[in-house]
Amino acid sequence: MRYGEKEIDEAKLEKWKNPATDKNYHIKIESREFTCLCPRSGYPDFATVAVDYMPDKFIVELKSFKLYLNKYRNVYISHEEVINKIFDELVALLKPRWLEITGDFNPRGNIKTIITVNTESARKRKKGR
């Protein structure tokens, strides 16, 4: 196993203390090389994953986030499931003031998918709306 594969295999999301808890500011992160596998066909799916969040006490450590996203490259998972899973794991780790994640998947079979979830839609989902 190469060192990069080992890093990806052992990756865990890490949080750091927010250096400016007294401010409302946004952090935007974008990964243009996200991949996972279609659970039906096994074909690769490619996407840009964009995260926009307003931190409270913690921020995500960027290298850990990059390696975490790379863990999905051999996972059979739908577009909807993976974006919601990433969202849930970031909310649990960071407990941000606000968070939105968008998965902009490349067209396959002439179909383009964009999945967006944010803290407001998640609250409505929990209330059953």
Cα 101 from Cα 90, distance rounded (Å):
10
Question: Which has the closest alpha carbon to 52: 119, 112, 121, 125?
Answer: 119
Question: Which has the closest alpha carbon to 71: 26, 31, 125?
Answer: 31
45 catalytically annotated: yes
52 catalytically annotated: no
Q: Of residues 9, 22, 38, 56, which has the active-site annotation?
A: 38
Cβ proximity of 58 and 95 under 8 Å: yes
Strands (E), the chain: 15-17, 27-37, 44-54, 58-60, 98-108, 111-118
Q: Of residues 9, 36, 45, 104, which has the active-site annotation?
A: 45
Structure tokens at 35: 């991949």
Residues with a catalytic annotation lie at 38, 45
